Amino acid sequence: MQTLPDREPAVQALMLASRALVGLTVRALADLEVDVTIPQFRALVVLSNRGSMRGADIADELNVNPSTGTRMTDRLVGKGLVRRVRSTDDRRVVQLRLTKAGRDVVEDVMTKRRAELERIVTETASLWQPAVTEALTAFATAAGEMPEQEWWLGWARSAEES
């Protein structure tokens, strides 16, 4: 698919911003005592957002093969960030749930990212007009991301489950 010329500056700016945002996450992950990759962190975020899930559902959410999802969650279980819980309704169903350590990782990384974003927004305050904020919010919505206040509500709900 070819990008239309009038959209190219926006696409390039978003590509640059995307790399910067990934960099913020990488730096926050590097400060952790436990080794967590970006894909593993994304799985932790999905679990914190959605609550308990089957491994296949996490793989679908991350758009990876089920075997890749299984290996990833096996590593997260081994690191003590996720635990397996059998369903009380159907013993064949195994749900994955964040441990306290897993919730702490997500909270720590998100707190560090937020602090860095606040610093960057402060440095570029004159550029943050309402249209920029609205465009970024619409972009995130179109990409399937939920607003932070809804995300944190999901995290609080999953914290109550454990």
Return the percentage of the chain with pLDDT > 70, whole number.
86
In whole angstroms, what is the distance from residue 33 CA to residue 57 CA? 28
Element (H, E) at 94: strand 94-98
In whole angstroms, what is the distance from residue 98 CA to residue 59 CA? 16
Nearest-5° Cα angle at 58, 73 to 157: 95
In whole angstroms, what is the distance from residue 39 CA to residue 152 CA? 20
Q: What is the mean pLDDT of residues 45-62?
A: 91
- pLDDT tens digits, 11-37: 999 999 999 999 999 999 998 989 999
Burial 105-115 (b: 16+ CB within 10 A, else e): bbeebbebbee
Q: Report whether CATH 3.40.640.10 matches the domain 13-161.
A: no
Residue 91: the pLDDT is 77
Is residue 76's pLDDT more than 60?
yes
Residue 156: the pLDDT is 46
Residue 6: the pLDDT is 86
In whole angstroms, what is the distance from residue 20 CA to residue 1 CA? 25
- pLDDT tens digits, 88-132: 787 788 899 999 999 999 999 999 999 999 999 999 999 888 888
- The span from the first CA to the last CA of the chain, in angstroms, equals 45
Q: Residue 68, CB half-sphere, CA atoms under 13 Å: how many?
A: 11
Q: What is the mean pLDDT of residues 38-51?
A: 93
Q: pTM for the full model?
A: 0.78
Residue 104: the pLDDT is 96
In whole angstroms, what is the distance from residue 108 CA to residue 106 CA? 6
In whole angstroms, what is the distance from residue 28 CA to residue 68 CA? 24
Q: Where are the domains of the chain?
A: 13-161
